[in-house]
């Protein structure tokens, strides 16, 4: 079955079903997120997703990933790089599938311990049918928290603005009093009240608790307002905060990516030298523009 054999939307739904089936076989708690779950609750417009997002109980994340790998899924080639927010997932691909499976051990915007945030979502989970298969998913309120956090990751994207408006309208006009209370319960348990403060104020859900520390707030604000430039800004932050003896090494790593570390789907195929130089030049141009924007806006 090649990647063109079935449509992306059908593949993504089947990937959610596969992810849930693997979790059941292992006895691992797993929650399907976003995509068909958000559409089921009418928290986003119906559309095809490029990946299937699944949140795994953190302490069994590695076990789950091993099971997925045993079925032919693998991560893309790429080196570890600095980030403004903590790495939160592993993206898996398969040569016969046109979609990815994005396996999360945490969800950005929650500042509680990942296990506590997972438990808050799991405690009110619902069973939803996806591709005629039962999957565990956050409740309507839990899915609203997830979609709101996802929308807050990029405050400039038209798609995310639309999602933000849909969730805000649902909280204000559609949710029952119980669902509104549950939204707040999950937000507070996951230490996401500060991240979701605009929703809480707009829907009059109660006082906003500042549950993120100053560094978490700074990094989140920098990321959400500069998501397109986040990689370049993170590299600059790493160079700026590194001890002097290490700065040259980090500058070199920021500038140069070896052929073996170039992002690609097939780990067995090394990019050509022409492909390497094309990639490097593209990175330099993009990074230069991002760095200039960052320093211009800081003035």
Q: What is the pLDDT of residues 13-63, one digit of tens each?
A: 999 999 999 999 999 999 999 999 999 999 988 888 889 999 999 999 999
pLDDT at 4 over 80: no
Domain spans in the chain, listed from the N-terminal domain onward:
8-224, 228-298
> For residue 176, which phi and psi values (nearest 5 degrees)?
-75, 170
- CA distance readout (Å), 13 to 19, 39, 57, 74: 10, 12, 21, 19
Q: What is the pLDDT of residue 299?
A: 63
Residue 211 and residue 188 in contact, taking contact as beta carbons nearer than 8 Å: yes
> Residue 148 has which token pair?
């709101």
Question: 128: left (phi > 0), else alpha (psi -120 to 50), else beta?
Answer: beta
pLDDT at 2 over 60: no
Q: In which residue are the tokens 């119906």 written?
A: 46
> Residue 171 has which token pair?
């909280």
pLDDT in tens, 98-111: 999 999 999 999 99
Instruction: Please give the helix or strand (H or E) that residue 257 lies within, else none.
Output: none
pLDDT at 7 over 60: yes
Strands (E), the chain: 30-33, 51-56, 74-75, 89-93, 100-104, 126-130, 133-137
**SS3 at position 84:** coil
Q: What is the pTM of this model?
A: 0.91
d(CA 176, CA 39): 19
Confidence at 165, pLDDT banded by 50, 70, 90: very high
Q: What is the pLDDT of residue 72?
A: 97
Residue among 90, 98, 96, 51 at smallest CA distance from 71? 96
Q: What is the pLDDT of residue 281?
A: 95
In CATH, what class is 8-224? alpha beta
pLDDT at 187 over 60: yes
Q: What is the pLDDT of residue 20?
A: 99
Please state the rounded mean pLDDT for residues 61-70: 98
> For residue 135, which phi and psi values (nearest 5 degrees)?
-130, 150
Q: In which residue are the tokens 């789907």 written?
A: 265
10 Å Cβ neighbour count for 211?
19
């Amino acid at each position: 079955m090649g990647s063109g054999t079935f449509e992306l939307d059908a593949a993504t739904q089947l990937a959610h079903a596969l992810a849930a089936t693997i979790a059941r076989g292992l006895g691992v708690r797993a929650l399907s997120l976003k995509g068909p779950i958000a559409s089921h609750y009418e928290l986003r417009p119906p559309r095809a997703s490029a990946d299937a997002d699944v949140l795994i109980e953190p302490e069994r994340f590695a076990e789950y990933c091993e099971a997925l790998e045993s079925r032919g899924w693998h991560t893309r080639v790429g080196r570890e790089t600095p980030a403004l927010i903590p790495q939160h997932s592993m993206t898996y691909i398969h040569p016969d599938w046109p979609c990815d499976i994005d396996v999360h051990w945490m969800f950005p915007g929650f500042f509680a311990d990942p296990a506590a945030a997972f438990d808050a979502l799991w405690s009110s989970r619902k069973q939803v049918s996806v591709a005629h298969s039962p999957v565990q998913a956050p409740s309507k309120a839990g899915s609203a928290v997830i979609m709101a956090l996802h929308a807050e990751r990029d405050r400039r994207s038209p798609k995310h603005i639309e999602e933000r408006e849909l969730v805000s309208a649902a909280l204000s006009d559609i949710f029952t009093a119980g669902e509104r209370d549950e939204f707040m319960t999950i937000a507070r348990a996951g230490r996401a009240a500060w991240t979701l403060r605009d929703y809480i104020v707009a829907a009059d859900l109660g006082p906003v608790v500042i549950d993120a520390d100053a560094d978490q707030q700074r990094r989140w604000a920098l990321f959400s307002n500069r998501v397109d430039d986040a990689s370049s800004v993170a590299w600059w932050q790493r160079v700026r905060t590194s001890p002097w003896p290490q700065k040259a090494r980090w500058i070199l790593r920021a500038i140069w990516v070896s052929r073996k570390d170039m992002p690609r789907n097939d780990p067995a195929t090394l990019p050509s030298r022409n492909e390497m130089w094309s990639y490097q030049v593209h990175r330099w141009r993009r990074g230069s523009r991002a760095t200039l924007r960052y320093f211009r806006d800081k003035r």
